[in-house]
Amino acid sequence: MRPVLLDLGGVELGSYGVSKLLAALAAGFLLARELGRRELDSGLAYPLTLAAGVGGFVGAKLYYLAEHADSLAAHDFGGSGFTWFGGLLGGGVAVLLVARAQEGHGHRQPRSGTRWRNSGQHDRDAARREEGYRARDDGGHDRAAEEEAAVHDDGWPAGAGRAG
């Protein structure tokens, strides 16, 4: 591996930085594809990837500096000296901050025509009600209404396997 790929009049383009840039672009592409597959806003992929990358590097450097606070030298503030755990913490916090900031901008909701799946609820019957009809069995009984009515006083659906 060549440490310096190009020297542009005193500005060096290092292979480490290029590899991290390519990794971030690949992560953003894959995240956008996965968000689209899950019918969520794929436009969040690159802001989240950028936040993870920048937050990761800042967190890694700050954690390294905190670990070596008693013996810091000028070279510790340069391009070396990163701690992976600090990168994990910094990237995670940055992603959470960006996700929370985007939450009020409509990015959290699925695209139109989709809905959140809430495990523990009657998803099948809820989907049928959203489509404008009720599920009826052969005897003309409204199964969805019967299931909704079959809730115990403590809020547990009938047959939910609750204790006691």
pLDDT score, position 115:
47
Domain limits, the chain: 13-103, 121-149
Q: pLDDT exceeding 70 applies to what percent of the chain?
A: 63
pLDDT higher than 70, residue 135: no
pLDDT higher than 60, residue 2: yes
pLDDT score, position 3:
85
Q: pLDDT, tens digit, for every residue of 76-96?
A: 887 778 899 999 999 999 999
**Range 115-132 burial, b when 16+ CB lie within 10 A, else e:** eeeeeeebeebeebeeee
SS3 64: helix
Give yes or no for a contact between 41 and 35, defined as CB atoms under 8 angstroms apart.
yes
SS3 32: helix
Query: Does pTM surpass 0.75?
Result: no
Residue 130's nearest CA partner among 141, 115, 111 is 115
* Most confident by average pLDDT, 53-57, 77-81, 101-105: 53-57
Residue 30 to residue 65: CA distance in whole angstroms: 32
Residue 122 to residue 145: CA distance in whole angstroms: 11
Place of tokens 């954690």: 63
Instruction: Please list the residues that pair with 6 across neighbouring strands.
Output: 13
pLDDT score, position 69:
87
pLDDT score, position 10:
84
Q: pLDDT, tens digit, for every residue of 31-42?
A: 999 999 998 889
Residue 132 to residue 27: CA distance in whole angstroms: 40
Model confidence at 55, in pLDDT bands (50, 70, 90)?
very high
Mean pLDDT of 98-103: 87
Mean pLDDT of 90-112: 77
Place of tokens 């890694």: 60
